[in-house]
Amino acid sequence: MVTPESIQHNIAQGMATEHLSVVGDGTHFEAVIVSEAFAGKNRVQRHQLVYQTLGDRMREEIHALSMKTYTPQEWQDQN
């Protein structure tokens, strides 16, 4: 079974983050990801970076993952 912790672990292993949280019920997940890697990238490019960290899991195990992606400056402006 897919857990929020396993998704969070994959993302953390694949990219440097300043903030990372994943919640979900085993079927639907929501992630908030703050990374300098998102600087200068549009929303699609940001999501593609995250998908790369999850690899085949996105096709085979994870059926619904919504993401909010921010640069550190955008995150600071949100809070």
Segments making up each domain of the chain, as ranges? 4-78
Using one digit for the tens of pLDDT, what is the confidence trace for 5-31?
A: 999 999 999 999 999 999 999 889 999
pTM for the whole thing?
0.93
**Selection from 46, 48, 24, 52 nearest residue 33 by Cα:** 46
Question: What CATH architecture applies to the domain 4-78?
Answer: 2-Layer Sandwich (3.30)
In which band, very low, low, confident or very high, does the pLDDT at 78 lie, cut at 50, 70 and 90? confident
Q: What is the pLDDT at residue 15?
A: 97
Distance CA 43, CA 34 (A): 13
In which band, very low, low, confident or very high, does the pLDDT at 63 lie, cut at 50, 70 and 90? confident
**Selection from 20, 21, 27 nearest residue 1 by Cα:** 27
Averaged pLDDT, 38-44: 98
Q: How many CA atoms lie within 13 A of 56 on its CB side?
A: 1
